[in-house]
Amino acid sequence: MKNQSLTNQVFSDGAEKYAEKFMNFDAYHHSFDQFLELIQTDAPKILDAACGPGNIAKYLLTKKPKIKLTGIDLAPKMIELARVHNPNGNFELKNLLEFDGVYDAIICGFGLPYLTKEEAIQFIQKAASSLSKDGVLYISTMEDEYEKSSLQAPSSGEGSSLFIHYHEAEYLKETMHSAGFEISFEAREEYEHTKEMTFTDLILIGRKIT
């Protein structure tokens, strides 16, 4: 990942604010429910990639307590908070492209904006090779033309600006299909980042069929 040290520092500095803003943010819960419904085992192994302070992990574990959840994030403070919020989860300091193991499902909530197009494609391909038969992949990102990617303030509102990558549905879906996924769910949500800036958030869920 490019600028990993800066991203690490920004998210560590803003971890508390991020948790305060998103721990109980429910706008995407319906898509998490769709993700859980596609998983075909009662005690799945789930990877929460770019887990942040454990907000998604907390929702998943509340809905399905038998989950064996591993979360990864590159910011030490985020990992610290995720462990506090989810004492039954396993959380490790890793970036989005470093994970290993085999999982029944992988969820990456808004990790892709910190990956280039090439890295996002690599993440999807790596996820496919790390999922068991009928495994499920969830990704969400800010959707727009990739060329519009730019420096922006972090979601927490704290710290230095980061380079945010927009991603396009066409190449994400094409990569998922090529990697053996059938798209089971596609949705878009409007998110007001500031009074002057509104993002379109894209959510894709795929089931591994080959």
Q: What is the reported pLDDT for 10?
A: 76
2, exposed or middle or buried, with CB in 10 Å at 0-12, 13-18, 19+? exposed
What is this structure's pTM?
Answer: 0.92
How many whole angstroms separate alpha carbon 43 and alpha carbon 59?
A: 15
Q: Parse the chain into domains and list their residue ranges.
A: 4-208
Kindly state which CATH superfamily the domain 4-208 is placed in: Vaccinia Virus protein VP39 (3.40.50.150)
Q: What is the reported pLDDT for 5?
A: 64
Taking residues 85-92, what's their average pLDDT?
Answer: 97
How many whole angstroms separate alpha carbon 67 and alpha carbon 89?
A: 9
For the chain, how are helix, strand and coil distributed in percent, rounded to 5? 35, 30, 30
Q: Predicted confidence band at 157 (pLDDT cuts at 50, 70, 90)?
A: low
- 49: nearest Cα among 94, 9, 83: 94
Taking residues 40-44, what's their average pLDDT?
Answer: 94
